[in-house]
Amino acid sequence: MKFSARSALRGLILVLLLLATEPARTEYLRIQLRVYGLDCEICARGVSASIGRLAGVEGVKISLESGMLDIALARRNNLKLSDLRRRVRENGFRPREATVTAVGRFNGSRFEVLGVGESYDLGGRAPQSPAPGPVEVTFNVR
Amino acid sequence: MMPGDPETEVLAAWRFHHSLTGIGTRNESTVYMGTSVSTQLPPRADGPALRRAPGFYMAAATGHISRRYYVWAGAGYERYASLGVDHPSNSLLGSLVLGWRPAFLNKEYPGADCRFFWETTGENVDSAWRSAAAPAGAGHHGVPAPLPAANSSGIIVLPNTGGRGVYSGPTFLYTHRNVALQIGALLAAWRDPNGIQPSERFRAVVVVSYFFLGGRK
């Protein structure tokens, strides 16, 4: 009995240590970003290759007609929306509005994406009595 | 811009202005600087062919780009150095390019991309000159034709060099994956050569490009 209690305590400490050492992460799952200036296949291919090199990016689809980048992200990635926008600018194009699917928590009307500090005021879209845990939300970002 | 004489050139470009105005739309301006060496020197009847000399090139182009239409206008000047006794012709170029991507070729990424262009280039080419101190030599007929007298600076402006002209014609551009193929021809719309020169009815260009798109790390 004494042995089991000690094992349980060791297990608990191990779990706490793992949680404490878990790297900060954001939880964007999908970002659809409109981009100005993409006119040809070579431009799209360059942007796709460049964004595909960002850690956490699982796939990039591009529509030249709508100027839309559709980026699928791995769970527990570290990518920020601001990193993605910067990468688009570095390639010579202009990021515009985005539709984002992310996991996070509500703090009043603000939705805080899990991990390192990007949050968005969702105004009337925020629930009156938000769930205590993380929730998955899709919203538009200007 | 399609130059007249064959040459090898090294070119650097700086896109100093671009404004991204909409989906698939932008305006941009670029300056080019480079150096070149002629790879084919035409034979002369009045002496040996001109010696090779490096040329220095500067140009600027500005344009509007969209998913359907393209418009570019540019101008450039190429000036040759005087190495030894010969000085090849300096030239001033102006160019207007209109581009069109027809709706039936307006494929979504990652499909192949095809565009048509119409380029019109005007050029003003100075006469070449040779120092009066240059050693005489046989022309390509074996017997040198008489040269005009040197001016007070000891320079002989070579006859039958330089002139003006306007060339115009279509270009087709195909890109797929990392490769681009460009095929075009410019037809002589108007020519005013100095003296007597070989007829230049058209210029043709075939360009194959490979884009290294590893992406920014």
B102 alpha carbon, distance to own chain's centre: 27
Q: What residues of B are in contact with residue A40 (Cβ under 8 Å)?
A: 113, 115, 175
B172 vs B115: CA distance, rounded Å: 6
What CA–CA distance (Å, rounded) separates A33 from A96? Answer: 7
Quick: pLDDT tens for B152-190.
878 889 888 999 999 999 999 999 989 999 999 999 999
Distance CA B32, CA A123 (A): 50
Spell out which chain B residues touch chain A, with contact meaning CB-CB distance below 8 angstroms: 15, 18, 20-26, 65-67, 106-113, 115, 175-178, 180, 211, 213-217
Count CB atoms within 10 A of the CB of residue B204: 10
pLDDT tens string B54-68: 999 999 999 999 999
B215 vs A49: CB contact, 8 Å cut-off?
yes
CB-facing half-sphere around the CA of A97: CA atoms within 13 A = 8
Measured distance CA(B7)–CA(A19) in Å, rounded? 66
Q: How far is A35 from chain B (nearest CA, A)?
A: 7
Q: Can you give the pTM of this predicted structure?
A: 0.80
B contacts of A87 (beta carbons < 8 Å): 216
Look at B215 and A34 and tell me if their CB atoms are within 8 Å: no
Instruction: Encode pLDDT of B65-89 as tens digits.
Output: 999 999 999 999 999 988 778 888 9
B117 in Cβ contact with B173 (< 8 Å): yes
CA A47 to CA A35: how far, in whole Å?
Answer: 10
> Please, which residues have CB within 8 angstroms of residue B99's CB and are 6 or more apart in sequence?
B69, B70, B71, B72, B115, B116, B117, B118
**What percent of chain B has pLDDT above 70?**
90
CA distance B134 to B82: 13
Q: What is the CA radius of gyration of chain B?
A: 21
